[in-house]
Protein backbone atom coordinates (compact mmCIF):
# COMPACT_ATOMS: atom_id res chain seq x y z
CA UNK A 1 0.00 0.00 0.00
CA UNK A 2 1.33 3.42 -0.94
CA UNK A 3 2.48 5.94 1.63
CA UNK A 4 0.72 9.21 0.75
CA UNK A 5 2.53 12.34 1.91
CA UNK A 6 1.24 15.88 1.52
CA UNK A 7 4.14 18.33 1.35
CA UNK A 8 2.58 21.48 2.71
CA UNK A 9 3.26 24.89 4.17
CA UNK A 10 1.04 27.89 3.54
CA UNK A 11 4.10 30.14 3.62
CA UNK A 12 5.69 30.48 0.19
CA UNK A 13 9.39 30.23 -0.55
CA UNK A 14 10.21 27.59 2.03
CA UNK A 15 11.43 24.91 -0.38
CA UNK A 16 8.18 22.98 -0.64
CA UNK A 17 8.32 22.26 -4.38
CA UNK A 18 12.08 21.75 -4.25
CA UNK A 19 11.47 19.14 -1.58
CA UNK A 20 8.67 17.48 -3.56
CA UNK A 21 10.78 17.09 -6.70
CA UNK A 22 14.01 16.04 -5.05
CA UNK A 23 12.47 13.70 -2.52
CA UNK A 24 10.59 12.02 -5.38
CA UNK A 25 13.84 11.64 -7.33
CA UNK A 26 15.73 10.42 -4.25
CA UNK A 27 13.12 7.79 -3.42
CA UNK A 28 13.12 6.70 -7.07
CA UNK A 29 16.89 6.19 -6.78
CA UNK A 30 16.19 3.58 -4.11
CA UNK A 31 13.98 1.74 -6.63
CA UNK A 32 10.77 2.83 -4.96
CA UNK A 33 7.81 3.48 -7.23
CA UNK A 34 6.95 7.14 -6.77
CA UNK A 35 4.09 9.35 -7.97
CA UNK A 36 4.33 13.13 -7.58
CA UNK A 37 0.96 14.90 -7.71
CA UNK A 38 1.18 18.62 -8.49
CA UNK A 39 -1.84 20.34 -6.97
CA UNK A 40 -0.41 23.88 -7.17
CA UNK A 41 -1.79 26.03 -10.04
CA UNK A 42 1.68 27.52 -10.49
CA UNK A 43 2.79 24.15 -11.83
CA UNK A 44 6.33 24.49 -10.51
CA UNK A 45 6.69 20.82 -9.64
CA UNK A 46 5.52 20.04 -13.17
CA UNK A 47 8.08 22.33 -14.82
CA UNK A 48 10.82 21.33 -12.37
CA UNK A 49 10.27 17.73 -13.41
CA UNK A 50 10.81 18.62 -17.07
CA UNK A 51 7.17 18.74 -18.19
CA UNK A 52 6.01 21.87 -20.11
CA UNK A 53 3.00 22.86 -18.03
CA UNK A 54 1.13 24.59 -20.85
CA UNK A 55 1.28 21.43 -22.96
CA UNK A 56 0.26 19.11 -20.13
CA UNK A 57 -3.15 17.54 -20.62
CA UNK A 58 -4.98 16.06 -18.84
CA UNK A 59 -3.87 17.52 -15.51
CA UNK A 60 -4.82 17.54 -11.85
CA UNK A 61 -7.65 19.87 -12.83
CA UNK A 62 -9.20 17.15 -15.02
CA UNK A 63 -8.91 14.66 -12.16
CA UNK A 64 -10.57 16.95 -9.61
CA UNK A 65 -13.24 18.48 -11.85
CA UNK A 66 -13.61 16.21 -14.86
CA UNK A 67 -13.29 12.84 -13.19
CA UNK A 68 -10.27 11.81 -15.29
CA UNK A 69 -8.33 8.78 -14.06
CA UNK A 70 -4.77 8.87 -12.76
CA UNK A 71 -3.42 6.87 -15.68
CA UNK A 72 -4.79 9.32 -18.25
CA UNK A 73 -2.81 12.18 -16.69
CA UNK A 74 0.34 10.38 -15.54
CA UNK A 75 3.67 11.39 -17.10
CA UNK A 76 6.98 9.55 -16.72
CA UNK A 77 10.05 11.74 -16.18
CA UNK A 78 13.79 11.29 -16.53
CA UNK A 79 14.37 11.09 -12.77
CA UNK A 80 12.45 7.79 -12.60
CA UNK A 81 9.21 8.89 -10.97
CA UNK A 82 5.76 9.68 -12.37
CA UNK A 83 3.99 13.06 -12.29
CA UNK A 84 0.38 14.17 -12.38
CA UNK A 85 0.98 17.66 -13.85
CA UNK A 86 -0.74 20.94 -13.07
CA UNK A 87 -1.08 24.30 -14.77
CA UNK A 88 -3.04 27.55 -14.44
CA UNK A 89 -6.35 25.79 -15.25
CA UNK A 90 -6.22 24.49 -11.69
CA UNK A 91 -6.64 28.01 -10.32
CA UNK A 92 -10.34 27.88 -11.21
CA UNK A 93 -10.86 24.50 -9.58
CA UNK A 94 -11.45 25.88 -6.11
CA UNK A 95 -14.46 27.90 -7.26
CA UNK A 96 -15.80 25.01 -9.33
CA UNK A 97 -15.37 22.57 -6.46
CA UNK A 98 -17.75 24.56 -4.26
CA UNK A 99 -20.75 23.07 -6.03
CA UNK A 100 -19.30 19.55 -6.31
CA UNK A 101 -20.50 16.81 -3.99
CA UNK A 102 -17.85 15.60 -1.53
CA UNK A 103 -15.58 18.34 -2.77
CA UNK A 104 -12.93 17.78 -0.07
CA UNK A 105 -12.60 14.11 -1.06
CA UNK A 106 -12.08 14.42 -4.83
CA UNK A 107 -8.33 13.80 -4.79
CA UNK A 108 -8.60 11.01 -2.23
CA UNK A 109 -11.14 9.15 -4.34
CA UNK A 110 -9.02 9.57 -7.48
CA UNK A 111 -5.91 8.23 -5.72
CA UNK A 112 -7.74 5.25 -4.26
CA UNK A 113 -8.56 4.12 -7.77
CA UNK A 114 -4.93 3.75 -8.87
CA UNK A 115 -2.50 4.22 -6.02
CA UNK A 116 -1.66 0.56 -5.40
CA UNK A 117 1.03 0.52 -8.07
CA UNK A 118 3.18 3.00 -6.08
CA UNK A 119 5.24 2.85 -2.90
CA UNK A 120 5.08 6.61 -2.29
CA UNK A 121 2.70 9.32 -3.43
CA UNK A 122 3.92 12.88 -2.80
CA UNK A 123 1.44 15.76 -3.13
CA UNK A 124 2.96 19.20 -3.75
CA UNK A 125 0.47 21.65 -2.22
CA UNK A 126 -0.08 25.33 -3.04
CA UNK A 127 1.30 27.94 -0.60
CA UNK A 128 -2.09 28.59 0.97
CA UNK A 129 -4.69 26.81 3.09
CA UNK A 130 -7.37 26.61 0.40
CA UNK A 131 -9.66 23.87 -0.89
CA UNK A 132 -6.87 22.38 -3.00
CA UNK A 133 -4.70 22.00 0.09
CA UNK A 134 -7.67 20.56 1.99
CA UNK A 135 -8.04 17.94 -0.78
CA UNK A 136 -4.39 17.03 -0.33
CA UNK A 137 -4.70 16.77 3.46
CA UNK A 138 -7.81 14.61 3.18
CA UNK A 139 -6.07 12.32 0.68
CA UNK A 140 -2.83 12.00 2.65
CA UNK A 141 -1.86 9.78 5.52
CA UNK A 142 0.60 12.34 6.83
CA UNK A 143 2.13 15.76 6.21
CA UNK A 144 5.76 16.65 5.59
CA UNK A 145 6.34 20.30 6.49
CA UNK A 146 9.35 22.07 4.93
CA UNK A 147 10.25 25.29 6.69
CA UNK A 148 12.97 27.86 7.04
CA UNK A 149 14.34 28.52 10.50
CA UNK A 150 13.17 32.11 10.84
CA UNK A 151 10.73 33.95 13.11
CA UNK A 152 7.80 34.30 10.71
CA UNK A 153 8.03 30.62 9.79
CA UNK A 154 7.08 29.72 13.37
CA UNK A 155 3.86 31.74 13.12
CA UNK A 156 2.93 30.02 9.86
CA UNK A 157 3.74 26.64 11.37
CA UNK A 158 1.28 27.24 14.20
CA UNK A 159 -1.52 27.96 11.70
CA UNK A 160 -0.70 24.84 9.69
CA UNK A 161 -0.63 22.61 12.77
CA UNK A 162 -4.07 23.95 13.74
CA UNK A 163 -5.37 23.22 10.23
CA UNK A 164 -4.03 19.67 10.38
CA UNK A 165 -5.76 19.20 13.73
CA UNK A 166 -9.08 20.42 12.31
CA UNK A 167 -8.79 18.16 9.26
CA UNK A 168 -8.08 15.22 11.56
CA UNK A 169 -11.13 16.03 13.70
CA UNK A 170 -13.55 16.45 10.78
CA UNK A 171 -12.40 14.87 7.51
CA UNK A 172 -9.39 12.58 7.93
CA UNK A 173 -8.96 10.99 11.38
CA UNK A 174 -5.76 9.20 10.30
CA UNK A 175 -3.88 12.37 9.34
CA UNK A 176 -0.67 13.05 11.25
CA UNK A 177 2.47 15.13 10.98
CA UNK A 178 5.09 12.96 9.33
CA UNK A 179 7.95 15.32 10.03
CA UNK A 180 9.36 18.83 9.88
CA UNK A 181 12.20 19.51 7.46
CA UNK A 182 14.59 22.42 7.94
CA UNK A 183 15.35 23.92 4.52
CA UNK A 184 17.72 26.59 3.17
CA UNK A 185 19.60 26.30 6.44
CA UNK A 186 22.66 28.44 7.11
CA UNK A 187 24.45 27.30 10.29
CA UNK A 188 26.24 30.66 10.51
CA UNK A 189 22.91 32.38 11.17
CA UNK A 190 22.28 32.77 14.92
CA UNK A 191 18.50 33.08 14.54
CA UNK A 192 18.37 29.95 12.37
CA UNK A 193 20.13 27.98 15.09
CA UNK A 194 17.83 29.37 17.78
CA UNK A 195 14.69 28.49 15.81
CA UNK A 196 16.12 25.04 15.04
CA UNK A 197 16.62 24.45 18.76
CA UNK A 198 13.02 25.54 19.46
CA UNK A 199 11.72 23.11 16.85
CA UNK A 200 13.75 20.30 18.37
CA UNK A 201 12.40 20.99 21.85
CA UNK A 202 8.79 21.25 20.70
CA UNK A 203 8.57 18.52 18.05
CA UNK A 204 11.24 16.07 19.20
CA UNK A 205 11.46 13.04 16.90
CA UNK A 206 9.09 14.65 14.41
CA UNK A 207 11.98 16.92 13.38
CA UNK A 208 14.06 15.24 10.69
CA UNK A 209 17.73 14.96 11.51
CA UNK A 210 18.48 15.70 7.87
CA UNK A 211 18.89 19.43 7.19
CA UNK A 212 18.71 20.88 3.69
CA UNK A 213 21.42 23.53 3.23
CA UNK A 214 21.39 26.60 1.06
CA UNK A 215 22.88 25.34 -2.18
CA UNK A 216 23.35 26.92 -5.60
CA UNK A 217 22.79 23.62 -7.42
CA UNK A 218 19.38 23.23 -5.78
CA UNK A 219 18.42 26.66 -7.11
CA UNK A 220 19.78 25.98 -10.61
CA UNK A 221 18.27 22.54 -11.26
CA UNK A 222 14.61 23.59 -11.88
CA UNK A 223 15.62 25.88 -14.75
CA UNK A 224 16.87 22.76 -16.54
CA UNK A 225 13.70 20.81 -15.75
CA UNK A 226 15.68 18.41 -13.57
CA UNK A 227 15.89 17.30 -9.99
CA UNK A 228 19.18 18.16 -8.34
CA UNK A 229 19.78 14.39 -8.17
CA UNK A 230 19.94 14.31 -11.98
CA UNK A 231 21.57 17.72 -12.31
CA UNK A 232 24.48 17.30 -9.90
CA UNK A 233 24.32 14.28 -7.62
CA UNK A 234 27.57 15.22 -5.89
CA UNK A 235 26.24 18.59 -4.74
CA UNK A 236 25.47 19.22 -1.07
CA UNK A 237 21.80 19.71 -1.94
CA UNK A 238 21.53 16.36 -3.71
CA UNK A 239 23.31 14.54 -0.91
CA UNK A 240 20.96 16.12 1.64
CA UNK A 241 17.83 14.95 -0.18
CA UNK A 242 19.26 11.45 -0.64
CA UNK A 243 19.89 11.44 3.11
CA UNK A 244 16.29 12.57 3.72
CA UNK A 245 14.96 9.71 1.60
CA UNK A 246 17.09 7.30 3.62
CA UNK A 247 15.79 8.74 6.88
CA UNK A 248 12.17 8.44 5.73
CA UNK A 249 12.69 4.82 4.66
CA UNK A 250 14.33 3.95 7.98
CA UNK A 251 11.37 5.48 9.85
CA UNK A 252 8.98 3.45 7.71
CA UNK A 253 10.86 0.24 8.38
CA UNK A 254 11.19 0.79 12.12
CA UNK A 255 7.74 2.29 12.67
CA UNK A 256 9.47 4.49 15.21
CA UNK A 257 7.37 7.60 14.75
CA UNK A 258 4.00 7.32 16.41
CA UNK A 259 0.96 9.34 15.27
pLDDT for res 32: 97
Q: Which domains does the chain have, with CATH numbers?
A: 3-250 (3.40.50.300)
Backbone angles phi, psi at 93, to 5 degrees: -65, -35
Strands (DSSP E) found in 43-81: 75-76
CA dist 108 to 23, 103, 259, Å? 21, 10, 20
Stretch 19-45: mean pLDDT, rounded? Answer: 97
Q: What is the pLDDT of residues 46-68, one digit of tens each?
A: 999 999 988 768 999 999 998 88
Stretch 26-49: mean pLDDT, rounded? Answer: 97
Sheet containing strand 120-124, edge to edge, reads 75-76, 82-84, 34-38, 120-124, 3-7, 142-147, 176-185, 207-213
Percentages helix, strand, coil for the chain (3-state, rounded to 5) are: 50, 15, 30
C-beta neighbour count of 190 within 10 angstroms? 8
The C-alpha torsion from 135 through 136 and 139 to 145, rounded to 10°, is: -150
User: Is the per-residue pLDDT at 77 higher than 50?
Assistant: yes
Backbone angles phi, psi at 195, to 5 degrees: -65, -40
pLDDT for res 57: 82
What sign does the CA torsion over 205, 210, 213, 219 have?
negative
C-beta neighbour count of 19 within 10 angstroms? 24
DSSP 126-157: -SS-SHHHHHHHHH-SEEEEEE-SSHHHHHHH
CA distance linking residue 159 with residue 162, whole number of Å: 5
Give the number of C-alpha atoms closer than 13 A to the C-alpha of residue 234, restricted to the C-beta side.
Answer: 0
What confidence tier does 208 reach under pLDDT thresholds 50, 70, 90? very high
Amino acid sequence: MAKILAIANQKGGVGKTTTSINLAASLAKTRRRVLLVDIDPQGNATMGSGIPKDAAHPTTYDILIGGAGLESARKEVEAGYSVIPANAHLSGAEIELISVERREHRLREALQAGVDRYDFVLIDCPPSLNLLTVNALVAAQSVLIPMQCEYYALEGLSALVNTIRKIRETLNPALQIEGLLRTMFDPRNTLANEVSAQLSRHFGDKLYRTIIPRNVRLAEAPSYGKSVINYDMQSRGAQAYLALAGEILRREQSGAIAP
